[in-house]
Chain A
Amino acid sequence: MCLGIPMQIQEINGYMARCEAKGVERDVSLFMLQDEMLEAGDHVVVHVGYAIQKVTPQEARTAWELYDQMLTGSE
């Protein structure tokens, strides 16, 4: 349950954001990052629907490469 997934913010509406990763879109709460400056295009790590930390695009890519490998490995 402690795995975080990096997603890219598409659109922000109050404390909610439409986020995307690998073609999948989700509504994500930014309530735990309300003290961060966030805008569309930024990447965040999402855990149980809540963004827990901002990350760079490179870090998001690296994390996704790892998850791709893990998903392939567990098939």
Chain B
Amino acid sequence: MAPGFTRWQPESTDMSRTAKQWLAEIRSLDLPDRVKIMNVCGGHERSITMAGLRGALPSSIELIPGPGCPVCICPEEDVYEAIQLALNEDITLLAFGDMLRVPVNVAKKEIRSLEQARAAGADIRPIASPMEAVTIAREQPDKKIVFFAAGFETTTAPVASMVVEGVADNLLLLLSGRLTWPAIAMLLDSARPGFDTLIAPGHVATVMGSREWRFVAEKHGIPSAIAGFSPESLLAAIYSTLRQLIEGQAFLDNCYPELVRDEGNPTARRHLQQAMEVVDANWRGVGVIPASGFSLRPGYQALDARRQFPAYADDSRKRAGQMPPGCDCARVVLGRCYPDECRLYGSGCTPRHPIGPCMVSDEGACRIWWAGGVRENKHNGQTQDRVVTHA
């Protein structure tokens, strides 16, 4: 076990403290004038917003939603490819429900989402589990079933398990799996990471192991802690990283010890290793991040929808900054601006009529802030220069 895990164990992982007690501990710290804490998980952002943690914390602390939404960063060309496949081939296309409403950048009269393609007659079905894909493929042996599998490690690992366990010959994968830590590595390697401490994702670490996140402290000297989804766990992680910052001792703390182990879930990692390899991958609005995507290994390429239907891969669509015009989702994803600082937030882009993917997904920061009651648009040309105290 890394030394960091034991350094403050009685305090920062003492999960018997209440949220109120953690808030008192945080207030008692000798805080700098301004601290930016980034999270990398839509679930964390949801808990922070719904519990009103921004309003409860001292005003010098900024909680910044980062690249924690797999739907938001799923490449536009992959969504477009899925739409075109569903419209033009005799297939059934399956996708996690959030993906159906993600718009692509096409002219107004063209079909711009899987939902619209379904309304136009394509056989597209939302699913909640890879097991449903296995069942549907078994029930329709004469039809090709394409499972558009977008997600981070927590979701891609079950997809890998499904593949390793074995699927019917007619089930194909349109894979858009991504790894979370390379996005943080990219930010930290940039001239302006935009945060002082990091809250690492709880369920990604449950599957992949906490050790994946050690580089944040060890390579970059940035305080870090893995958090669960309760206000207590999140506040413990916030406290831990603040104390690390103040004491000048950065390490990776584990404030979700009930689920997160150093090695993660070894079986899940073995399945990922067996079925998939890690490749450079495009992130919508961000660009290619080295070693941040999953691809099927050669032994499983018979399942690869891109090999079966190569005509639908459109390289000309592969470009960074492919968010809709006027949409700041790319900057929201990278923590460069807050959702309500986008000019479209609430004025044209709402959960009912989303323009950017961050307003579509339950894990998108814009959608979460809207659900949390943030209605005012603060677009004023300034970003990250104010302290967010509302939630």
Contact = CB atoms under 8 A, between A and B. Distances in A.
Interface of A: 1-4, 15, 27, 29, 31-35, 45, 47-50, 52-53, 55-56, 59, 62-63, 66, 69-70, 73-74
B177 to A, nearest CB: 11
21 contacts: A1-B42, A1-B361, A2-B41, A2-B154, A2-B155, A2-B363, A3-B43, A4-B154, A27-B131, A31-B164, A32-B157, A33-B267, A45-B259, A48-B130, A50-B131, A52-B154, A52-B203, A59-B259, A63-B230, A70-B50, A74-B371
A1 B151 contact: yes
Given A29-B131, A49-B128, A66-B230, A2 B201 contact: yes
A32 B128 contact: no
Contact of A53 (B151, B265, B371): B265
Contacts, number: 113
Contacts of B46: 70
Name the residue among A1, A48, A56 with the largest chain B CB count within 10 angstroms.
A1
Contact of A29 (B68, B71, B98, B161): B161
A9 B164 CA distance: 23
| Main SS class of interface, A | mixed
B213 to A, nearest CB: 15
Contacts of B231: 66
Contacts of B266: 35
Interface residues of B, number: 45
Contact of A32 (B47, B129, B204, B271): B271
Contacts of B356: none
Contacts of A45: 203, 206, 259
B229 A31 contact: no
A1 B259 contact: no
A36 to B, nearest CB: 8
The 9 closest A-B pairs by CB, nearest first: A49-B129, A50-B158, A73-B50, A2-B154, A59-B258, A32-B268, A66-B230, A49-B131, A2-B203
Contacts of A34: 267
